[in-house]
Chain A
Amino acid sequence: MMSTGFRTLVYKETLRFYKVATQTIAAPILTAMLYLLIFGHVLEGRVQVYPGVSYTAFLIPGLVMMSVLQNAFANSSSSLIQSKITGNLVFILLTPLSHWEMFSAYVIAAMVRGLAVGLGVFVVTAWFAHMSFVAPLWIAIFALLGAAILGTMGLIAGIWAEKFDQLAAFQNFLIMPLTFLSGVFYSIHSLPPFWLTVSHLNPFFYMIDGFRYGFFGQSDVNPYFSVSIVGGFLAVLSLLAIRLLASGYRMRH
Chain B
Amino acid sequence: MTAIQISNVQKRYKSLQALGGVSLTIEEGEFFGLLGPNGAGKTTLISTIAGLIRPDAGSVTIHGHDVVTDFRAARRNVGVVPQELVFDPFFTVRETLRLQSGYFGLPNNDKWIDEVMENLDLTNKADTNMRALSGGMKRRVLVAQALVHKPPVIVLDEPTAGVDVELRQTLWKFISRLNREGHTVVLTTHYLEEAQAMCKRVAMLKAGKVVALDTMSQLIRRISGSQLVLHLKQGVFPDDLRHLVTHPEEAARGKYSLRINEYSEVEKILARLREGGAVIYEMQLQQADLEDIFLQIMEGKTV
Q: Which residues of A contact B (CB under 8 A)?
A: 3-5, 7-9, 11-12, 15-16, 19-20, 83, 86-88, 90-98, 248, 252-253
Contacts and interface: CB of A to CB of B under 8 A. Distances in A.
A16 B95 CA distance: 11
Contacts of A90: 52, 82, 84, 86
B92 to A, nearest CB: 10
B54 A95 contact: no
Interface stretch (B26-34, B98-106, B162-170, B289-297): B98-106
Contact of A253 (B53, B75, B90): B53
Contacts of B54: 248, 252-253
Contact of B87 (A88, A97, A253): A88
B10 interface: no
B50 A3 contact: no
A21 to B, nearest CB: 12
B71 to A, nearest CB: 7
B84 to A, nearest CB: 5
Given A87-B86, A88-B86, A88-B87, A94 B50 contact: yes
24 contacts: A4-B102, A5-B102, A5-B104, A5-B105, A7-B102, A8-B107, A11-B99, A11-B102, A87-B82, A87-B84, A88-B87, A88-B88, A91-B103, A91-B145, A92-B103, A93-B50, A93-B51, A95-B75, A96-B72, A96-B75, A96-B105, A97-B103, A98-B72, A252-B53
Contact of B88 (A5, A91, A93, A253): A91
A5 B107 CA distance: 9
Given A4-B107, A252-B51, A252-B53, A96 B102 contact: no
A248 B52 CA distance: 9
A16 B100 CA distance: 14
A97 B89 CA distance: 22
B236 to A, nearest CB: 61
A90 B105 CA distance: 17
Contacts of B73: 96
Most buried by A among B72, B90, B103: B103
B90 A16 contact: yes
Most buried by A among B73, B86, B145: B86
Interface in B70-96: 71-73, 75-76, 80, 82, 84, 86-91, 95
Nearest to A248: B54
A83 B84 CA distance: 13
B109 to A, nearest CB: 10
A17 to B, nearest CB: 9
Contact of A9 (B47, B51, B103): B103
Contacts of B102: 4-5, 7-8, 11-12
Nearest to B80: A94
Given A88-B88, A252-B54, A3 B145 contact: no
B41 to A, nearest CB: 14
Contacts of B89: 86
Contacts of A19: 90
A93 B52 contact: yes
Contacts of A248: 54
Contacts of B105: 3-5, 96
A16 B54 CA distance: 30
Contacts of A86: 86-89
Contact of A5 (B52, B90, B103): B103
Given A8-B107, A93-B51, 14 more contacts: A5-B102, A5-B103, A11-B99, A15-B91, A86-B88, A87-B82, A87-B86, A90-B84, A94-B50, A94-B51, A94-B80, A96-B76, A97-B103, A252-B51
A15 B104 contact: no
Contact of A91 (B51, B71, B76, B100): B100
